[in-house]
Amino acid sequence: MKPYKDTFLNRNTRVRRFQQNISSKELVWHRDRSDRVIKILEGAGWQLQMDNGIPKKLVEGKEYSIPAYNYHRLIKGSTDLVIQICED
């Protein structure tokens, strides 16, 4: 079972929700097959950590680029996290 719920807007765009009560153990290091741009729609206290990097606070309204095949993970915040994902 995936730790999020996706709602597809079109072929390349989806809205993904992570609930606040998710276990931190479910937020594992992973990599994606496509370049992605994520936009933070809602969420407080969540962070994004890229491979060999320090965690960065995710800010509502801001976009973040995640290159294909680059390891990364989310770090749990204090509210639900809702992001928009656009893939190439």
Place of tokens 């709602």: 7
CA 64/CA 23 separation, integer angstroms: 23
Residue 5 bridge partners (DSSP): 17
Distance of CA 13 to the CA centre of its chain: 13
pLDDT for 1 beyond 90: no
With cut-offs at 50, 70 and 90, classify the pLDDT of residue 87. very high
Closest CA to 61 of 87, 84, 78: 84
If you average pLDDT over every residue of the chain, what do you get?
97
pLDDT for 88 beyond 90: no
If you average pLDDT over residues 26-54, what whole number do you get? Answer: 97
Residue 50 confidence (pLDDT): 98
User: 3-class DSSP state for residue 26?
Assistant: helix
Please name the amino acid found at residue 39.
K
